[in-house]
Amino acid sequence: MAAPIRTAVFPGSFDPITNGHLDLIDQAARLCDRVIVAVLKNTRKTPFFPVDERLAILRDVLAGRSGVEVDAFAGLLVDYARAKGAGVVIRGVRSAADLDYERQMALTNRHLDPRVDTVLLLPSAEFSHVSSTLVREIATLGGSVRGLVPPAVESWIERRTHGPETRTV
């Protein structure tokens, strides 16, 4: 009998994807046969990049990585995971504060659906200070995000911050 395909969902806002996320996606791809990087469609937040652009950025950055897919979801993560045939949720933990939050989320998801397990991964030390929030702040204030995000994301940020639609002159 063939071994079952292990599918994982890596959910998040990915606004934008950072080098820390990329490191975690590569770790997840080594552990699982199929990794779905799933962007939450959250209409309550004012995003830096809208969901369709975040999906385009992810597809751009992750092109060529075998077993890695990009998707968007709304509603409960556990419902999405089961609909995709995923029994694993991947999340990253950079710090004690992250662990507190991730622990609460993992246990809540287990309460909602015990068939979905959460796997918490550590990003490499060189990325443990990197966050999308700080990347957005640096980009908004005109700083360089080189080394914090994949090169393709730098180009998207450049377009976002210097594009014609954001010029106020």
Using CB under 6 A, list all residues that contact ligand PNS.
11-13, 40, 76-77, 105, 108-109
- Check if the beta carbon of residue 37 is closer than 8 Å to that of residue 51: no
Based on the residue annotation, tell me whether 162 is a catalytic residue of this protein.
Answer: no
Amino acid at 153: V
Min separation Cβ 117 and ligand PNS, Å: 14
Q: Which CB sits closer to ligand PNS, 40 or 88?
A: 40
Closest contact distance (angstroms) between CB of 169 and ligand PNS is 34
Is 45 annotated in the active site?
A: yes
Active-site pick, 30, 44, 45, 111: 45
The secondary structure of 95-151 as a DSSP string is SHHHHHHHHHHHHHHHHH-TT-EEEEEPPPGGGTT--HHHHHHHHHTT---BTTB-H
Q: In what order do the strands lie in the sheet with 7-12?
A: 68-73, 34-40, 7-12, 88-92, 117-121
With respect to ligand PNS, which residue has the nearer C-beta, 108 or 144?
Answer: 108
CB 123 within 8 A of CB 94: yes
Q: Which is nearer to ligand PNS, 34 or 132 (CB)?
A: 132
Catalytic residue check, 21: yes
DSSP letter for 167, please: -
Given the residues 34, 54, 91, 94, select the one marked as catalytic: 94
**Least distance in Å: CB of 162 to ligand PNS?**
26
Cα separation, 52 vs 62, in Å, equals 15
Q: How many CB atoms lie within 10 A of CB 101?
A: 12
Q: How far is the CB of 76 from ligand PNS (least distance, A)?
A: 4
Q: Which is nearer to ligand PNS, 105 or 120 (CB)?
A: 105
Residues labelled catalytic:
21, 45, 94, 132
